[in-house]
Structure 1
Amino acid sequence: MRSGYGPIGLLLVSMIWGRLFPREIISLFSFIKREAYSSALMHWHGKYYSFDGRQIRFYLIARTVWIPITDIERIVEPKLEKHEIEALGFQYGKIPEQRAMGVTEGGLLQLLKPRTEGGHTNYKMIRFKRWLLASALVNVKRLPKSAIKNIH
């Protein structure tokens, strides 16, 4: 094959294939699009939420909601103290099947309690707690079973 015939030959072959197999080609592109969407988004489905522009990940593992401590530290004011985290006991630790350290839903509510109740309340923390209880945690817990198995 001499140079110069490559692009023309490719064009002719693609036109012939397009005439012979139009449905198959269209379904192939549809399949590629669905698989790309699924592989890009289903891994994230139901895990990522945002509060005031800051991302928070939620993991539903064995009916327990886990939140990475790094995500919590970006939002909670005043900053978390080491003794607060240690006081959580079993509600703080390595998130099952993940590499990150985190707290359970109960542990997060325990961390928010002194920030939302009493004389030194913080309006942002009150909003955060309301958002957690009314939107985020409710949605994470009611994910369909098909999405839960993809969350692991």
Structure 2
Amino acid sequence: MIEWRSVLLLISKIVFSIGLSYIYYVIAEKIKPGHGIIGVVIAIGFWGRLYSREIIEFVLLFKYWGEKSALQQWHGKYYTFDGRQIRFYLVDEIVWVALRDLKKVLDPKLAQWEIDTLGSDYGKIDQSREMAVTEAGLMRLLESRTDDRRAKYPMIRFKRWLLKEALPNVKRMPRSAVNHPMKGL
């Protein structure tokens, strides 16, 4: 609902600022012909005071718009582990994890021969350009990184995080909160 009082106040501010700018322009032209623009520049300082609330709201709106446009594709569709985004896809009740995201987390680095041994647990997600690994394939990759005495603590934490927080949450989330490669799902 439009509040007419605030609209009238804004219109009166605009009329006042245009009138003030014109007066300063005329005064500056009378003092030194051809320098009327200096009067307008002086009036801009008054505009800043007069429109301070609107300027601040515009800056905040611009900031909000920028954050929203930058984060919209991720909103409600990612999880983060140690500051790294991990995307999960739910396709036919099977959880897939983006390979590009896993490569940022896994230590030691993922080798091509490991990917080749995954077989059907590795592939392209339907109607998506994203290569991914199923939950079962991911557990096989983590098994070699966490089940011996030389296991690195970040990998143990990552596996624990997957099993206790991320995967159970993805499986019980509504479909709108998980990445879906197809719009109809």
Q: State the TM bucket, normalised to the shorter chain.
A: 0.5 to 0.7
Q: Deviations over 1:62-106 (max 9, x none)?
A: 111111111001000001111111000000010123211110111
- Counterpart of 1:100 in structure 2 is 130
**What is the SS of the residue equivalent to 2:107?**
coil
Cα deviation for residue 135 of structure 1 reads 0.5
The separation in 1 between residues aligned to 2:144 and 2:135, in whole angstroms, is 16
Q: How does 1:1-152 map to 2 (within 5 A)?
A: 11=11, 44-147=74-177, 151-152=180-181
Identity %: 53
**What is the SS of the residue equivalent to 2:126?**
coil
The answer to which structure, 1 or 2, has the higher relative contact order (CA under 8 A, 6+ apart) is 1
The separation in 1 between residues aligned to 2:138 and 2:147, in whole angstroms, is 14
User: Max radius of gyration: which structure?
Assistant: 2
Given the two structures, how large is their TM-score scaled by the length of structure 2? 0.56
> Structure 2 regions of 5+ residues with no counterpart?
1-7, 13-64
> Structure 1 regions of 5+ residues with no counterpart?
1-7, 13-35
Kindly tell me: are residues 142 and 42 of structure 1, through their superposed partners in 2, closer, same or farther at Cα, counting changes over 3 Å?
Answer: farther
Q: Deviations over 1:119-152 (max 9, x none)?
A: 321111000000001011111110124545x734
The separation in 2 between residues aligned to 1:97 and 1:11, in whole angstroms, is 52
The separation in 1 between residues aligned to 2:174 and 2:165, in whole angstroms, is 16
Given the two structures, how large is their TM-score scaled by the length of structure 1? 0.68
- CA RMSD in angstroms, aligned pairs only: 2.5
